Every structure is written in C-alpha cells, then in structure tokens.
Amino acid sequence: MFEKLERFIGELADSTRFQNVICTRGKPADKLAIGKLESLFQKLEVKLPPSMRDFYACYDGFTLAWEYTKLTHPDYITSGSIRITELAMLMTNLEYASDDLIPFDRVSDINQVVLRLNQGRVTLRYLDARSRTSVPLKLEMENYFHWLDETRGLSPWQEFFLASKTSRMKPVLREKFLRDLKLLFGDVDPTLFSSNIT
C-alpha cells in the first residue's frame, strides 16, 4: 500500500540526512478484527471506505516521524509526521463517540486529521487544536493514503487540501514545502500541489 513510504523508511536507517526518526508499523490486523470494523460501520449505517479496510489489513497503526538535518529556511525545520491510530482505538472511538470528530492521523502536537461520519459516509477534517476549529479536507480516504505515500508525511502537506481559503497555509510555508518536496522527493511533481490542488 505504501510503496514510496516503505522505500523511504528503508533509506532512513542508513541516511545521515535525517535525524530524530521514529518508525512503528503495526502488524496487519487479522480478518476477525477487520470483520468487526466492517460490522461496526454497518451498524452506524456508514459505508466503510475500501482503502481504510486495505490500510488496516496491512498495518494496525502507522507512525513515522523524521527531521531533515539541514535547514532549508531560517525559521522552520523540514520534517514529516504520520501517526495513524490503531484499529482498536479507532473502533472504540467510533462505538462510543460516533457523533464526534474521530482522531485518525496526528499531524503534529497540535494538529490532526479527524474523521466525521456524515450522511452515510466518512469525511476528513483538519483539526487545529490552537484555534479549536476543524476545516473539511478536499480529499476522500482513498486520496488521503495516496498523498500520504507521495509526500512521505512532509509537513504540512494536508494544508494544500483545506476546503476553506481562509485557513490555507502562509505563502512562506507553501513555498518552503514545494522546495523541500523537490529537494527530498524528486519523484513527486511539485506542480501537482501548486497548480492542481491549491
């Protein structure tokens, strides 16, 4: 599922270009656990996104954090972060708080991507803990996993997909992200972010 991410994780082990690396990949959830997830979604009358089922069949939770050792901007470090919640915690939150925002991917210490069950489907929102606001993401779950793989969690990739123009990232962060993407991950076309998404 995460071809580029898995290759990147392999490179991190021997690279001196990155520091403060944390990587934890949960073992695949078994068929019984996946079946319970499907049953829970049916009970909630929400369609389980196939990509979510596929993700948990590969990884029961996924954490990757890293920092680039060189400064590419005097005020901001270059880093990445992925912390997708484990299946048991996801199911507990869905079972007891299905009307709330459900934590899914912790982007940083203050921001996270959350799930909201809405009209029989799963939608994604970007939650900023400082402002206590959540903004819809212009992404389906399928695309979320795709861009996670493409960017290897490079921060703040999710902010390119915010549905609200007033919540979009500062121009300096946008420019830095696009430069860092080209520097670190030359197999990704930065214009996909700069022209097709924003």
- Name the pLDDT band for 168 (thresholds 50, 70, 90): low
pLDDT of 157 reads: 92
User: What is residue 51's predicted lDDT score, i.e. its pLDDT?
Assistant: 95
CA 193, CA 31: separation in Å to the nearest integer? 36
Domains in the chain with CATH codes? 3-186 (3.40.1580.10)
Q: What is the mean pLDDT of the chain?
A: 90
Nearest to 124 by CA among 106, 137, 134: 137
Instruction: Evaluate if residue 95 carries a pLDDT over 50.
Output: yes
CA–CA dist 43, 82 (Å, integer)? 29
Nearest Cα to Cα of residue 85 among 70, 107, 66? 107
H-type helices in 121-170, by residue range?
A: 141-151
Nearest to 60 by CA among 94, 88, 91, 102: 88
CA distance 13 to 47: 38
Helix (H, G, I), strand (E, B) or coil at 156: coil
Categorize the per-residue pLDDT at 126 as very low, low, confident or very high, splitting at 50, 70 and 90: very high
Please say if the pLDDT value at position 138 is more than 80: yes
pLDDT at 163 > cutoff 70:
yes
Question: What pTM was computed for the model?
Answer: 0.89
- Half-sphere CA count of 24, side-chain side, radius 13 A: 9
Query: Apex CA 101: angle with CA 98 and CA 107, to 5°?
Result: 135
Q: What pLDDT is recorded for position 194? A: 65
- On the question of pLDDT at 198 being above 50, the answer is no
Instruction: For residues 53 and 57, give the distance between their C-alpha atoms in angstroms, rounded to a whole number.
Output: 6
The more confident residue out of 107 and 25 is 25
Q: Report residue 80's pLDDT band, with 50, 70 and 90 as the boundaries.
A: very high
Q: Provide the pLDDT confidence category of residue 118 given band limits of 50, 70 and 90.
A: confident
